[in-house]
Amino acid sequence: MNIVVQKFGGTSVASLERMQQVMKKVLAARAHGNKLVVVLSAMSGETNKLIALANQFSEEPDPAELDVLVTTGEQISVALFAMLLKDAGVKARSLLGYQVPIETDSDFCRARIVNIDTDRIRAMLEEYDVLVMAGFQGCDCHGRITTLGRGGSDTSGVAIAAALKADTCEIYTDVDGVYTTDPNICSQARKLSRVTYDEMLEMASMGAKVLQIRSVEFAKKYNVPVHVRSTFSDEPGTMVIQEDKSMEAVLVSGIAYDKDQARVTVYDVIDQPGVAAAIFGPLAEDGILVDMIIQNTSREGRTDMTFTIPRADLKKTMRILEGTKVQIGAKDIQYDTGVCKVSVIGVGMRNHSGVAAKAFAALSKENVNILMISTSEIKITCLIEEKYMALAVHTLHEAFELGKNGTNAC
């Protein structure tokens, strides 16, 4: 049997009308003789509503019980959608995490999948034509409900596709693919026909909300081609795939940005082994994601340490730093929220020099001052003043000719 895995996000199942749209996609794939596993998210807004309810009951809700609570969102989606399918004469049933089972570890609220019983799914697909599976949820070895973390339904879709060795995992969403940059910022943005897992990971880490990071990691690990496309059109979207030779020709795939940033500088700390650990250890313990880190060259045995964090964590970060201030001998701690990150992303960089220089030159020509720089194999990130964000995105998009049809064009 040929098995197709389709995953639909929260906006795609937000109402009866939206679900009927989803049904068209499912019935079309079914009409081609495929068996389907359809993975659904909670109706948009539901998960947030449930979390708000939990916060009303507890300042720090028990993670295991929070998972019991929030998984009701997907449970509602799959029940309703299975009803629609049955009314349409399709042999279908809903499947909850523990019924598959999607076995995970016991790390509630951010569990990792350890096993999926494909024999059971294949047996069910003999009996049913469509299995409507609740995304985001699994169960641990004791049968307790777990969740895979925010956006985990993407991961559910990719994981089930990997386990069933499906040709593709189709991720249907409210955008029609992955773009060279945010079309809301830059009207020259162009839909990519293909993008590599690594590029997608860099884009996702920069806040591009098309795919959840862990699902891309999963897809990369198991080499599952992911087709990101729109629920509301029949156009092909973007294939997220392993790098192949033809893609090397493309220098840069996209420009990403992240406004949710704050810059923190700790002044005049003692420059000795262990001082970085003393600063960043407590932040890591509290789950604060420190990104770009710059340590100035030492003057008279002292140095400044600058780094970026998500803006939402600023208050917590400052509180923690005030606690370690004496220990690290810092003279002052300052922060700046008027900053943002802009990144140039492309696997082609691996084999080409001069990409960074070209980016810096383009920004400089528009008088955009670069505050910090960090680079990876396939990404160059600049921290700039927030007011230059749109200008920087436009400038870089044009500098690398992303608006023009290249080999990566649709």
Chain residues that interact with its own copies, rule: CB under 8 A: 16, 19, 50, 53-54, 56-59, 61-62, 64-66, 68-69, 71-72, 75-76, 78-80, 82-84, 86-87, 93-94, 96, 98-99, 143-145
Q: Is residue 173 annotated as involved in ligand binding? A: yes
Q: Is residue 24 annotated as involved in ligand binding? A: no
Min. distance of Cβ 65 from its own copies in angstroms? 5
Min. distance of Cβ 61 from its own copies in angstroms? 5
Nearer to its own copies, 39 or 226 (CB): 39
Instruction: For residue 181, give both structure tokens.
Output: 């940059």
Min. distance of Cβ 107 from its own copies in angstroms? 17
**Cα–Cα distance measured from residue 108 to residue 147, given in angstroms and rounded to the nearest whole number:** 6
Q: Is residue 322 annotated as involved in ligand binding? A: no
Instruction: For residue 110, give both structure tokens.
Output: 């951010």
Amino acid (one-letter) located at 293: I
Min. distance of Cβ 53 from its own copies in angstroms? 7
Q: Is residue 209 annotated as involved in ligand binding? A: yes
b or e along 122-148 (b: 16 or more beta carbons within 10 Å of the residue's beta carbon)?
A: eebbeebbbbbbbbbbbbbeeebbbbb
Q: Is residue 179 annotated as involved in ligand binding? A: yes
Nearer to its own copies, 33 or 143 (CB): 143
Q: Is residue 170 annotated as involved in ligand binding? A: no
Nearer to its own copies, 23 or 384 (CB): 23
Nearer to its own copies, 87 or 260 (CB): 87
Nearer to its own copies, 59 or 300 (CB): 59
Min. distance of Cβ 351 from its own copies in angstroms? 52
Nearer to its own copies, 29 or 100 (CB): 100
Nearer to its own copies, 100 or 393 (CB): 100
Min. distance of Cβ 105 from its own copies in angstroms? 18
Nearer to its own copies, 65 or 386 (CB): 65
- If 0-12 CB within 10 Å is exposed, 13-18 middle and 19+ buried, where does residue 193 land? middle
Q: Is residue 308 annotated as involved in ligand binding? A: no
Q: Which residues are annotated as a binding site?
A: 7-10, 47, 74, 173-174, 179, 209-210
Q: Which residues are annotated as a binding site for substrate?
A: 47, 74
Q: Which residues are annotated as a binding site for ATP?
A: 7-10, 173-174, 179, 209-210
